[in-house]
Every structure is written in structure tokens, then in C-alpha cells.
Chains A and B, each alone.
Chain A
């Protein structure tokens, strides 16, 4: 076999399937590179897009009401709490752990907040009540992390115990600490979180801000990369992506404004999505989380404090559980003995997985929480409109989850077997 002393002898590497390849310079090459990634297991958001198109076509053709602007805003309202909770679960899955207690931890947060702002008893102002609730759920995450890292108990077992334990805490708080079993949330601000809508003009302004921020950041990235002589995305691709984002954003705002406007809770979700995506992709902490999910030993040898990082991730999850619990309490305008119950836990974990987060750790994006919640909420919303019974709805949701996990396993196999993942 020849040597690879000189760059001209690329035949050697080509025989292994590793030719020196220039970065794509135009739209066609970019598309080809993308298709190669898909074929080799890096499927990204493709199944989600296909899934959502299927959902829109199927339910849209079966029920006229599915595609109305009223149902669109309803969908936003239904999807947002699940997505907020799923953000925390995505973090957990990234380090190849699991949280089976996220629904009841969220209920603990919601119930504590609701009890603290009861007028006159003790009637705390909402910032304080929300702050205390979030602090407590974050500390639950801290506790999980301590048990996981100091005692080495698998997160599956810790959070299974937590699921039962915090169900009990919710029952105690709603029956022992309040008389009726149901506590009504009266605070206008808190109720508004999940029930208010932005005025039309503010919705538009928000859209302009989003698209403007995206274009600006892409432009700055392009400039700093060309300055260093690094390869950049073809300009045509950037323009197409910006146009696509603008079309989706303004389309959604236009449609929402036909009805009641952009829901406040969707904006809250968006803020968290942007914030946590920033942490996951642009900071050393996020990079280390992916490294720990991919190869904990490599991370440890690179000098990363793996235990502290795991505790941090569980605290993020606890915090987001608290946020989700407060949003759910706001949406229902009350907390009760059944808070955090039902299919919430399954929907949240299913959302994270359906959105494309790998159960094996290290693969997935924060926005998966949005994708997955959107798929689950629209399927359930569509089935509600069709008047299907609860049993059928669970069966179908279960099948969708199974399909998502199967895709994850297959793409993992694709990554492992293809030399060019």
C-alpha cells in the first residue's frame, strides 16, 4: 500500500472511502451532502417534518376543523406545557439518564406555587411564590444528582422512587395543607401565563425580532468565518433558510392573529428554547454535556468534572419541571389531587424521544422538545376532534412513540455501520 506523505496521494484514502472533499459551495452540493448525512443515520428533523405533514394531511382531510385558526391556537396552548417539561427531559437524555418523576415533580412545583399565592393564606406576591416553587423543584434535581453521583444508584430507580414519593407529596399538599383538595389560582399574572394572548402588533413585532436576530447572527457568523478563511455555508442556502424561517414565523403569527393572537405561553416556551439551545450549543457546559453523553471516560480524562455536570443537568431538569408545573397550574387555573397525573409523564418523555433525542445519550437537540410536543399534541388534538375514545388515543400515541424509538435505534445502527456518519 502506498503512503500518504503528500496530499496528492488521495487515492489511498479514497480507497477507504475518505477522499479529501471540499465543503459544499452551492445549493446542489449542499443538498447532496445533506442527503448523504441522512442516508448514513444523521436524520435530524426529517422524520418530524414527514410526520407533521402526514398529521396535517390525515386529520385535515378527516376534519375541517383541524386546520382552523381556532384549533391552531388551541394546539399551541396544549403543546406548550408538554414542550417546556420535555426541554428538561432532553437534557437528562443527553447524558443517557432518565427521569420518570418529571410529571409529579412539576406538580409539586405547581401546587407549592398555588398554595403560596392563596389570597391571605399566606398570600405571597407571585414573584416570590414562583421563585420558591422553582427553588424547591431545582433542589429536587440537586438531590437526584447527589444520589446518582455519590451513591451510584441508577437514575431509573431514583426517579421511579421519586415518582411515587412526589405523587404522595402532591396528595399531602393538596389534601392536608388545603381543605378542598382543589386550590384555585386567582392571581391575574399567574393565570395570564397560560391563558393570555399577545396583541396583534406585538405578535408581528416579535416575528420581526426573531427573523432579524436570526439573519444578524448568521451574517456575523459568515463574516467571522470568512475572515479566518474557513468554509462557509453557501449564501444561497443561508438565504433559503432565512426565507423559510420568515415564512413559517410570519405564517404562524398571521394565522394566530386571525384567532386570539399569539399565546403568551408559546412565547415563554420560545424564550426557554432559545436560552437552553444557546447553553447546549454555544457554551463549554453544553459541549461537556454532549461529551459525557457520548463517552463519559473521554470527558473524565479531558478534565471535565463529570459528577458536577450530571448534578447540574438534573438541576436544569428540576427547574424546567417547576416551570412546566406552574404553567400547567396556570392553564387549568387550579391545582388538585390529580395534578401531574394521567398521561403527562408519558407524553413528556415521548415528546423528547419523538423529537429526535437519543435514549443512548449524546445525540439530540433542545428543539426536539418542541418537535415532539407538537407531534403528540397534534395527534391527540386530531383524535379528539375525530371523537376517538381514550383507549384508542393511547394505543395510537404508543405506536407513534414506538416508531420514534425504532427510528432512533435504526439511525444509531446506521451511524455505527456507515463509515461516513
Chain B
């Protein structure tokens, strides 16, 4: 794990009308670490992620990638930085097979227009092997027949395949059972071990404490805590989520 951040948000703010969704939030993730982003509903987790994703711009503050400031205006910019976001609903086409989904929108072609199935299947297999995903019957199986954990694995493997440097996972275990949650957490760990900076959003502190290296807590749009997992307890984090110190009280100053 490196000590310098690969992705860093410095003092980012975002408001929607009168609602201050984010206020001067600092957030970073380093290569090879799993950074958890936690907070109660409405704490600003999604707003922060959507800002990084390029869905909308931040009002103030900046984003630095690999140490240099970058402008993110659209999802395309984010993809261009090799930041991959795996949304909760995964956005897989059920009727396409695993390979088709992993290459959707970025198909490899030969002769200018013919799908290079062999090359795509080869790359897809390699990416899945990297993550030790072995429970797939075949990469030519349609996604409709996959379990929740396997779908998550496909979505993550897609991120690996495109040489992502940062992967953001939005509630990857929310809809999964015990065994599948286990599989996905293992997958997250292996993903970080390949040198990728992983951001994981979750409500489940148990999961977080199992897989995360560091934990950023958001409360009412502000970053109220940054914990090192090995030096903290779930109680500390829960306290921070529910009663962390706010530097700025909404509506009480003119910031």
C-alpha cells in the first residue's frame, strides 16, 4: 500500500437549492487500500460519489488524481481516468452472456466491424482468473442465471479488465446472503491486493470492519471522522456516524 493518494477530493462542496449536501469534504483513497465510506442516510455518500463519477460538478473544491488536479465534467472524464463505478443495481444486461456484459459499449473488433469474440473471451477469462472467480460455469453463460454474488463478481471483474486504478463499489453486499457477501468481500480484498484503490460504500459496519483499511465517516454532508480500521472499534465509528463533531452548522453561518 502506498502513502500517497491516487484519488483525492479537497474541500468539495455541493448544494441543491437550499440544501447543503456536502460541505468542504476531504476524501482520499490510496492505491492498494480499501477505503470505506460510511454515514447515515442523507449523509452525502451518494452526492460525493456522483460528483466523482461526473454526474454533476462540485460547487467548490477540487479533485486530484495521481497527485495532479483534474477536471471532471462528465462520466466520460471519470472513465478516462480509469475510475470505475459499480452501482448498486450493477446495470448488467440479463440476456447477454458474461463476456458480452464485460465488453458492453467497448467491444473489441477485427476488420473494422466484426466482434472479436475470441479475444474478448480470452480477456474476460483472464480478468476473472485474476480475481479467482471460479464459481462461474462458463463465461458464455447469460447473466440472467447468475447469483447476486456472481453478478457482483462480473461487475468487478469488468473494472479489473479495463485496468481501473480506482474502483468505487456502491453497497456491493446490500442484497446478498451470508455466503455471497463473504465471496464479494474476498473479491474486494483481492481487488485491492492487485494495487487498485477501492472505495466501498456500505451501511454494514461488520462488513466494513472485515475488509476496509481505513474508514471515512460522513455526517450531514461533512467529513467527521477518518479512522484506521486497526486502531478503532465499531463503537467509535457508530458514535462518529451519529454524533460526530460538525465544523459547520447548516443555516448558522454564511459560508
Contacts and interface: CB of A to CB of B under 8 A. Distances in A.
Report whether chain A binds chain B. yes
Please tell me the size bucket of the interface on B: 35 or more
B100 interface: yes
Nearest to A295: B93
Contacts, number: 127
Contacts of A228: 118-119, 121-122
A419 B135 CA distance: 13
Contacts of B144: 415-416, 421
B88 interface: no
Interface stretch (B13-21, B105-113, B216-224): B105-113
Interface stretch (A18-26, A51-59, A338-346, A372-380): A18-26
A208 interface: no
A304 B75 CA distance: 13
Nearest to A292: B93
B179 interface: yes
Given A5-B132, A18-B135, A303-B105, A284 B115 contact: yes
B104 A224 contact: no
Interface string B116-140: 0011011001000000101111100
A23 B94 contact: no
Contact of A7 (B113, B132, B150, B182): B132
B183 interface: yes
A258 interface: no
B96 A287 contact: yes
B95 interface: yes
B91 interface: yes
Interface stretch (A9-17, A179-187, A189-197, A266-274): A9-17
A1 B182 contact: yes
A284 B117 CA distance: 11
Contacts of A10: 134-135
A222 to B, nearest CB: 11
A162 interface: no
A150 interface: no
Interface in B176-193: 178-179, 182-183, 186
B41 interface: no
Interface string A288-301: 10110111011101
B104 A302 contact: yes
Given A230-B122, A418-B145, A362 B186 contact: no
Contacts of A16: 135, 147, 179
A137 B103 CA distance: 34
Give the top 9 A-B pairs by smallest Cβ distance, nearest first.
Answer: A302-B105, A294-B95, A13-B135, A294-B93, A362-B95, A298-B91, A421-B145, A1-B179, A302-B104
8 contacts: A4-B134, A16-B135, A20-B137, A21-B138, A295-B93, A302-B106, A303-B76, A421-B144
Given A3-B182, A290-B100, 18 more contacts: A5-B186, A18-B137, A18-B147, A19-B137, A20-B135, A20-B136, A40-B145, A231-B138, A284-B109, A287-B107, A290-B93, A293-B95, A294-B94, A299-B105, A362-B94, A363-B95, A420-B145, A421-B145
Interface of B: 75-76, 79, 87, 89, 91-96, 100-101, 104-107, 109, 113-115, 118-119, 121-122, 125, 132, 134-138, 142, 144-145, 147, 150, 178-179, 182-183, 186
